[in-house]
Amino acid sequence: MIKFFLYAFLLLGFSPLFSQDARQQLIDDAAIEYFQNAGNQATIFYGKQQEGIPRTTNHSYLVDEQHVKARLSYHNVIYPEAMLRLDLYRNEMIVQSPELRSFVLFPEHFDYAELHGYHIIYFQRDSLPGCPSTGYYILLHSENYKVFKRQRAILMHDSKLNTISNYYTFTTNYFLFKDDEYHTIRNKRGLLNALHPYKKELKQFISSHKWRFKRDADILIAHTIKEYEKLTGLR
């Protein structure tokens, strides 16, 4: 721990000597060494263990059922190689300990995670118009305007021939935060309506890339917002 804080002191005190990438690598290397030594004493391996899940024909996790290596910021501490998985059914971020036990991270201490190529945050509902519910969200865009993606797993039961089959279905919702208001984006038209007065220009921009909302929603929304920021002079 002393070595970890020594590195942090050096970075804060002599940051002009390091590039951004070099500073980040130094932090990550120090954190990896510390948490390898700390083992199951590290603070992320503390709290309730993940409850058992019903037997189902598919899984409820984001992308992969297995824990995968991710970069986690938790209680303002960076864990460069945490083993994570996001349960979309219970809305829980799960970390795996060196003893292969699964713990639920406390959402109030969760800053962000880089998991499966996504930047994941824990969003707290506020009182602004259209605000979505509290939970884990993928942050698709976060410059002048923010785009949030929420995925959920819903447990279903199917009874056939005296047998019961459990399985998950999934929902995906998109939210745009613009001008102190949240807009639920259900399709291309809804997105363009929220981005006046440049609907015509943005419609042409989307068509030029041959994007389709059902197939390319993540890319379509994020890049259209970036183009909107250019048109409004915010980039």
Interval 170-221: pLDDT, tens: 999 999 999 999 999 999 999 999 998 999 999 999 999 999 999 999 999 9
Contact 168/89 with Cβ under 8 angstroms? yes
| pLDDT (0 to 100) of residue 47 | 75
User: For position 14, what pLDDT does the model report?
Assistant: 46
Cα–Cα distance between 8 and 34 in angstroms, integer?
13
If we measure between CA atoms, which residue out of 87, 92, 85, 95 comes closest to residue 116? 85
Amino acid 70: pLDDT: 97
Q: What is the pLDDT of residues 135-151, one digit of tens each?
A: 999 999 998 999 999 99
Length of the chain: 235
Higher pLDDT, 106 or 22: 106
Question: Can you tell me the mean pLDDT for 100-118?
Answer: 95
| Better-predicted residue by pLDDT, 39 or 133 | 133
The alpha carbon of residue 114 and the mean position of all alpha carbons in its chain are separated, in whole angstroms, by 7
| All structural domains of the chain with their residue ranges | 1-41, 46-185, 186-235
Q: What residue has token string 């919702």?
A: 173
For residue 136, list its beta bridge partners: 122
In 9-76, at which residue ranges do the beta strands (DSSP E only) sit? 68-74
Rounded distance, CA 112 to CA 137, Å?
A: 10
For the chain, first and last CA: distance in Å?
A: 41
Q: How far apart are CA 198 and CA 211, in angstroms?
A: 18
Structure confidence at residue 17 (pLDDT): 56
pTM score: 0.79
Instruction: Judge whether residue 9 has pLDDT over 80.
Output: no
* Residue 31: pLDDT band with limits 50, 70, 90: low
Lowest mean pLDDT among 92-101, 152-161, 223-232: 152-161
